[in-house]
Amino acid sequence: MAKETTLILFKPDTIEKNLSGKVLERFLSQDLIIRGIKMMPLSEELLAEHYSHVADKPFFPEIVGFMSKTPVIALALEGEDAIARVRDLLGPTDSTKAAPGTLRGDFGDTMMINVCHASDSPESAQAELKRFFKEDEIFTY
């Protein structure tokens, strides 16, 4: 297993339901280490870049509306095989198909209202971390 850093975004449903502490604790209980954390609003420009892979889909405006509804919490987490472990802890993207015990199974509602976004590969993690964090906002110690 390789040590990795991955990006997680606590989505507006997590913020509105005041679940940020519970969700963060679940990640930290898996020996993942915070390397960066901040709360931030997402601009239309940032969302267009982040979701460029679905910008031509009819549901794109709904994603932009949802993700700009509240600020999000951006989190850089590090650990052994962090990307796969975070995604396993979250469960499938569609919360209605997520098993109890996963974050989406316990707290999610739908395909979009699903607690968190998480990087799906080392390449996307690297790009997404740069998108949401400046170089001096991710720490090692």
Kindly report the number of other CB atoms within 10 A of residue 122's CB atom.
14
| Domain spans, the chain | 3-137
How confident is the model over 12-23, as pLDDT tens digits? 999 999 999 999
pLDDT, residue 141, reads 80
Identify residue 47 by its one-letter amino acid code.
L
Q: How confident is the model at residue 113 (pLDDT cuts 50, 70, 90)?
A: very high
Catalytic residues: 117
pLDDT at residue number 137: 98
What pTM value is reported for the model?
Answer: 0.95
> Which structure tokens are listed for 96?
């209605």
- Round to whole Å and give the CA distance between 136 and 36: 9
Average pLDDT over residues 118-125: 97
Q: Would you place residue 1 in the very low, low, confident or very high pLDDT band (cuts 50, 70, 90)?
A: confident
pLDDT exceeds cutoff 90 at 24: yes
Give me the DSSP letters along 30-98. TT-EEEEEEEE---HHHHHHHTGGGTTSTTHHHHHHHHTSS-EEEEEEEEETHHHHHHHHH--SSGGGP
List the structure tokens of 116. 């968190």
pLDDT tens per residue, range 45-59: 999 999 999 999 999
Q: What's the CATH fold of domain 3-137?
A: Alpha-Beta Plaits (3.30.70)
Q: What is the pLDDT of residues 71-91, one digit of tens each?
A: 999 999 999 999 999 999 999
User: For the chain, what percent of residues have pLDDT higher than 90?
Assistant: 96
